[in-house]
Structures are given as structure tokens and as C-alpha cells.
Chains A and B, each alone.
Chain A
Amino acid sequence: MENFLGGLQELMTWGTFIIIPVGLMLGIIVGSIPGLTSDLGIILCIPLTYGLDPIPAMLMLLAIYCGGTYGGSITAILINTPGTSANAATLFDGYPMTQKGQAYKALSMAIIASTIGGIFSALLLLFAAPQIAKVTLLFGPPEYLALAVFGLSIIAGVSNDNIFKGLIGACLGIFVSSIGMDKLSGTMRFTFDNYNLFKGIPLIIALIGLFAISEIMMKSQYNPKTDAASLKSFSIDKQKITKEEFKRCIKPISIGSLIGSIIGATPGTGGGLAAFVSYDQVKRHSKHPETFGKGEIEGVAVTEAANNGATGATMIPLLTLGVPGDGATAILLGALMVHGMVPGPTLFVEQGNIMYAIMLGLIVVNVFMYIMGKYFIRFYAKITKIPYELLATMVIVFCIAGAYSTNNAIYDVFIIIGFGILAYFLRRMNFQLVPILLGIVLGPLAEMNFRRALVMSDGSYSIFVTRPISAFFIFIAIASFVLFFFKGNKGKRKKGAQKVESKA
């Protein structure tokens, strides 16, 4: 209770109420531009938060995360292109509604559902996280290692079609994180006597290179004449949601919020999966399933409640265990570290006020999101028409300035370009970037606790399986890895069979 009140007090400053709308505006803009994602928005803005205290800094980044998740629905509804992967399911009914001349109605429902889902999720975070954190106080080095392994096990869930590519990516990430001075022994590793590498590769530099520069490189084959012309035109009408429609949507929004929160709290999943599962459930139990996919407002309501329902819930394993649920939360994990907070068991004890301020702030973020979403719909609609070539120049200038500002070193600019080109090659080879990121973020935690635990046990590896909590996390890490592996293979076989069938 003391921390709760302390957090509330720290939250209630003018700065917070300025920074949240700024973050939201940036998030919604980034989310509503096809080709830019909330992940990219967070990465680009991390350098801007260096001068801020941890609370406004994290709230700004969380606002970008939530705003981006909502903003992605705008393009999904208006131009049939999801702004982020979390909004893919919103296409099913969002775009048909636009075709029927109900774009305004769809956008309005998207903001209502997103807000309710987001607030539900934030409340769950507020009540569940401190309880989990109490249990995690019992953790020592073996448990921390087990947690890091558990975090790394979600690689299987985010490796797309080939788990070995995910594993290679994770190894590459851990290797990158090992560059520089070893914190335990002071030994230099892979520095090639270059003093710029003595401190290692800063996380934010790796992030900018891997995600932002590679994203721009991926679009280097973009042709403004043909690709821009393929964007469909749309018009914003003035049709409002009727009372009857709103009543119909209460149940889908509730289901979406609940399923979204549960799935969001499960590492390795994310808002995209939450939206698809919720949509499927609502459609299956609907009295009129035939209307889904043809512009059914309930379809927009459930998907948007679900993907925003995942936003707060993904923070539960992140803040309490230090395990990121998806790509965006892995980036937020890095951001927390940049601001001197190591997510995990001790965070609630050492920085309880900050934690409560962030969790309560997430509720405020969602309230502001409703206000900003409701009154600026037409403005966001115009953003979707910004040409990509113009965006590319803006993003790259921000990347360069952001990279330089991290250490005031030009060497970091070289690193982002190098990482960007490497990541571009990997993406072309169908590698996912999240496993690399997880390796970079969780690798040092895993190594440090692995070595500390072995010092504790006099070199005996049994310490990892004889301590119950450690054994439990190692077991679920292996179980989730195996589960994702077989699920992935099953999906692959299904795809292969479909290909064969379609060829036949």
C-alpha cells in the first residue's frame, strides 16, 4: 500500500501528463504509417528519454507501445494493411466496413475496444504483478539463470518457420552481448584491441541497427510509382455507432479483453495471436457467424480489445520475472535496463514506487488514448498517406542522431549501419530478429547467474535441478520449447500440404 501511494504520488506530476500524450501521439502516428511499427517507434524514442527520469521515460515508451498497437488498426481499417502485426485480424471486418462506407464507425469502435482492453489489461497488471513479485523474492542465481533460460525458450515461438534459424540468431545475440569487458573477471572478449569495443556494444545501438536500419534496408526495393499507387483510396464518413451496435459489442469486447490478457501474459505469444484466437472464439459462438469477415462491427471490437488487452498483460512476466513476452516487450526490457532498472524479482522491492507509478500510469495512458483517438481520427487518417520515401529519410536521420547521442561516439553510427546491413541479410534469409534481441538482452543475465550459481555449488550442475523453483522454470522452459517446436513443425507440414494441394 505504501508503494501504491508512493507510486501514485510520483505519477501525479505535470510532466507525466505532458509526456503521455506526446508518447501516444508518436505511437499512434508510427502505428498508423504502413511500414513503421510501434517497435521502431520505441527504439527511435529511447535516446530521447535519456534526459528524463525513469517514470516519465517508461511512460512515454509505454504510451508509444499502446498507441502503436491502436494506431495499427487505422491502416488495417482504412487501407487494408495492418500497421503492426497485432492488427492483422482487424483487417477481416475493418476494411469491409470501410468498403461499406462505415470507416468512421469502425475507427470509433477500434478506439473504444482498444481502450477497454487496455484498461482491463493494465488493472490485471496492477493486481497480479505485485503478488507474483512477492514469490520471486526467494530467487537466487540458479533461479535467475532458470528464468533467463525460460525467457530464451520463447525463441521457439518467435522463430517463424525454422527453429534452427531462431537458435542461431539467439547464439549470435549472446555472442554480441559477450563483446567487451567480462564483468566478473575483467577479461576483454572479442575486442580485437579496439578501445571502442571495450565497453561492449550498447543495447540501444544494437536495437537501432537491427530493427530500424534493417527495416529501411528492407524497403530499399520499394518503388514509389507502383507500390504507392497500390494503396487503396478511402473516405471518412460521419456514421456514428448506434446504441444497439454498442450493446452487441459489449460481449466481444469482454471476451477480447479477457483472452487478450491471458495470452498476453504468456511469454512467446503477443497481441497478434490474442486477436486471432479471440476473433475465432467470438465468431464461433456468434448467433450470426456468416456476417463475420463482411464488415461486422463485433469483429473489429473483439480484435482491438484483444490486441490492446495484451499490452498490459505482457508487462506481467516482464516486470516480475524479467521475461519479455514478445518483440516490443523485449525492447522495453532493454529500455528499462538503459534507465538503470533490471526487471525481475528484486525490482518491486528496490524500486517499488517506480513500478507502481508505471503500472498506474498505464491506466492513464489508456484513458488518454481514448481521448486522443476519438478527437484526432481524421488527422491520423491523413498520416496513412505520407509517402514512404519521405519517411525513410526522417527515420534514418533520427537513427543516426539517436545512435550518436548514446555515447557521443561516431563509432556507434558505424555499428548501427553494420548491424543494419547484417540484419537485412538475415531477414532476407528468413531469420527473425527477436531471437537475436533476446540473446543480447538475456545472454549477460544468463551468463552472470550461471557462473555465480556454480560458484555457490562448488562447480556442481545439480544446483539447477535440485532447487524447486529453478527446476520448475527449467522444466517449463523445455516444455514450452518442445511445444512450440512441434506446433511449428505441424504448421509447416500443414502449409506444405496446402501447397501440394493447391498445385494439384
Chain B
Amino acid sequence: MKIKYNSDIISGGLFAILAAVIWLLIPSQIQTMETTAVTAQTIPRIVIGGMFIFSLVLLLQGLFMTPKKSVYIDKAFFQSEKFKKEMKSILFAAILIVFCFLISTIGFIISSLLLVVAILVFYGARKWYYYAISMSTVALVYFIFKIVLSVNLP
């Protein structure tokens, strides 16, 4: 399957949808009692309306003016270096999301230690002292915040 696209089409399309959804949410999310001409809804409406219009312009630019890239979605695509690189970014984002769940359950120190180890493994680091330095950083940061800034990390 052949797909033609560029960043303007993707971002323009996504932001147009996002702006439309937020616009529809405004009455339920900003329940103002103000009776003046300008209320708490005015600026959000101007901004979201603007976002919708600019997104449409961007989408049109992407469809008719900006050069498009062609990608063939087949077996070779899923084995390509480019696809693997994109997967790496998604994996990195997944590590960060998992960390979010961990920090709220097991606290800063253990979740951060796991995070730095995961990042080093992600990059394929093999030197032991990379792990030692990174793990020491976690401890150092914990104590800097606790002692110097009086912030008790979770």
C-alpha cells in the first residue's frame, strides 16, 4: 500500500480535529455566569477558533503546496532501519510512561533507579561505571533535594 504524506498534512489534520473537539467542549468545561460581552469563554474561543483556522490552512498547504513523501507499507517497510528507529522512540516513550506508574506506587528512589538502568540498557551501555554513575546521581539528587531544598521526594 502506497501512502503519500508530509508533516503539514499530519499536524494540520490532527490539530484541526483537536481544535474542533475543544471548541465543542467549551460550554461544558467553562460554565461561566458572567453577563458581560467578554467572559472567561472569550479568549479560549478566539484561540481555539484560531487554532482550527490555522490548522485548516496548514492542511491545505500540505495537500496542495508542500512536497509529499511516498511510503510503501509492505514487509520491507517494517524491516527498514527507519521503522526500527521510530520504534525506538516509541519504546523510549513507553519507558517514560511505565515510570509514571511506578513512581506513584514505589516512590522516587526505586523507580528512578529502574528508569536510569532502563535508559542505559536502551542505549546498549555495557560499561559498569555508567550504571554506577547514573545510580549515584539518583541518590545525589535525592539528598540535594531533601537536605538543600527541604523537598521530600516521594
| Interface: A466 (CB within 8 A) | no
- Known: A182-B40, A217-B89. Is A430-B7 also a contact (CB below 8 A)? yes
Task: Say which one of A28-36, A184-192, A307-315 lies at the interface with B.
Answer: A184-192
Q: How far is the CA of A217 from the CA of B47 in the complex (A)?
A: 28
> B88: which A residues are within 8 A, CB to CB?
220-221
Give min CB distance, B70 to chain A, whole Å.
17
Q: Are B145 and A224 in contact (CB under 8 A)?
A: no
> Which residues 407-456 of A sit at the B interface, judged by CB distance below 8 A?
408, 410, 413-414, 417, 420-421, 424, 426, 428-431, 443, 446-447, 450-451, 454-455
**Number of B residues contacting the other chain (C-beta, 8 Å)?**
70
Q: Are B89 and A171 in contact (CB under 8 A)?
A: no
Residue of B whose beta carbon sits closest to that of A190 = B29
Q: Are A221 and B89 in contact (CB under 8 A)?
A: yes
- Known: A394-B134, A401-B145, A424-B93. Is A171-B120 also a contact (CB below 8 A)? no
Task: Say which one of A79-87, A104-112, A122-130, A162-170 lies at the interface with B.
Answer: A162-170
- Known: A48-B149, A400-B108. Is A162-B8 also a contact (CB below 8 A)? yes
Within 8 Å by CB of B137, from A397, A428, A455, lies A397
- Known: A165-B11, A184-B40. Is A390-B130 also a contact (CB below 8 A)? yes
Within 8 Å by CB of A224, from B47, B51, B85, B125, lies B125
Q: How far is the CA of A51 from the CA of B144 in the complex (A)?
A: 12
| Interface: B32 (CB within 8 A) | yes
Q: Are A224 and B124 in contact (CB under 8 A)?
A: yes
**Number of A residues contacting the other chain (C-beta, 8 Å)?**
65
Residue of A whose beta carbon sits closest to that of B126 = A224
Within 8 Å by CB of B54, from A51, A164, A189, lies A164
> A421: which B residues are within 8 A, CB to CB?
93, 96-97
Within 8 Å by CB of B119, from A184, A190, A396, A455, lies A396
> A225: which B residues are within 8 A, CB to CB?
124
Q: Are B103 and A167 in contact (CB under 8 A)?
A: no
Q: Are A167 and B153 in contact (CB under 8 A)?
A: no
C-beta contact mask, A172-198 vs B, less than 8 Å → 1, else 0? 101100100010110111111000000
> B103: which A residues are within 8 A, CB to CB?
400, 410, 413
> B12: which A residues are within 8 A, CB to CB?
164
> A472: which B residues are within 8 A, CB to CB?
none
Give min CB distance, A464 to chain B, whole Å.
13
Q: Are A389 and B120 in contact (CB under 8 A)?
A: yes
The B interface is mostly helix, strand or loop, or mixed, namely helix
> B34: which A residues are within 8 A, CB to CB?
185, 187
> A404: which B residues are within 8 A, CB to CB?
108, 151, 153-154
C-beta contact mask, B118-143 vs A, less than 8 Å → 1, else 0? 01101111000010011001100110
Q: Are B50 and A171 in contact (CB under 8 A)?
A: yes
Within 8 Å by CB of B7, from A414, A429, A443, A454, lies A429
The A interface is mostly helix, strand or loop, or mixed, namely helix
| Interface: B37 (CB within 8 A) | yes
- Known: A164-B61, A185-B32. Is A414-B40 also a contact (CB below 8 A)? no
Give min CB distance, A338 to chain B, whole Å.
14
Q: How far is the CA of A220 from the CA of B123 in the complex (A)?
A: 8
> A178: which B residues are within 8 A, CB to CB?
43-44, 47
- Known: A178-B43, A389-B130, A397-B112. Is A459-B37 also a contact (CB below 8 A)? yes
| Interface: A392 (CB within 8 A) | yes
| Interface: B63 (CB within 8 A) | no
Chain B residues in the interface with A (C-beta under 8 A) = 7-8, 10-12, 15, 19, 22, 25, 29-34, 36-40, 42-44, 47-48, 50-51, 54-55, 57-58, 61, 85, 88-89, 91-93, 96-97, 99-100, 103-104, 108, 112, 115-116, 119-120, 122-125, 130, 133-134, 137-138, 141-142, 144-145, 148-154
Chain A residues in the interface with B (C-beta under 8 A) = 47-48, 50-51, 162, 164-165, 167-168, 171-172, 174-175, 178, 182, 184-185, 187-192, 213, 217, 220-222, 224-225, 387-390, 392-394, 396-398, 400-401, 404-405, 408, 410, 413-414, 417, 420-421, 424, 426, 428-431, 443, 446-447, 450-451, 454-455, 459
Besides A188-B30, A224-B125, 7 other A-B contacts (C-beta < 8 A): A171-B19, A187-B33, A224-B123, A389-B119, A393-B116, A428-B7, A443-B43
